[in-house]
Amino acid sequence: MTLLDTVVTSREALLSRILSFAGDSILNDAEPTGPPLAGSELASALKHGANALKAAAIDAQLDLAAASFVANDVAIDTRAGLVRLSSIFKWYAGDFGGRAGVIAFLKERLPEGEERDWLRRQGHHVKLIHRPYDWGLNSVR
């Protein structure tokens, strides 16, 4: 196991998968904390235990990105009892702990409001509709 494996837990790896599919636009609303680290700077920071990367900061950025992705991607139809979401959640359902884990992930990250409250009341008794993934998004710069 490398030092990077030690720093990046499976939770962060999963969220980074979501980010890799969703693109950099997810973080547009985030306040930058400084210039991005180049590969060699990142390696140096990890190797020498520098304070440039702290687990709490990584967690906060990943949580923000995941919440933004869910807020912009997930559509809930309370009357039909449907949750429409990206195929990413189907492809990586095992990383979430299966269908129940996907629903729990959504319950935690949906914006506060009627839809989130509805999903929490439904438990796991909702129908998930996975939208086809738009591969064209990967080429947008």
pLDDT tens for 75-98 read 999 999 999 999 999 999 999 999
For the ranges 7-11, 41-45, 93-97, 122-126, which has the lowest average pLDDT?
7-11
Dihedral (CA of 6, 7, 8, 12) sign: positive
User: Is the pTM of the predicted complex or chain greater than 0.75?
Assistant: no
pLDDT at 24: 47
Range of lowest pLDDT (14-23, 98-107, 119-128): 14-23
Cβ proximity of 96 and 46 under 8 Å: no
Edge-to-edge strands of the sheet including 82-86? 75-77, 82-86, 127-131
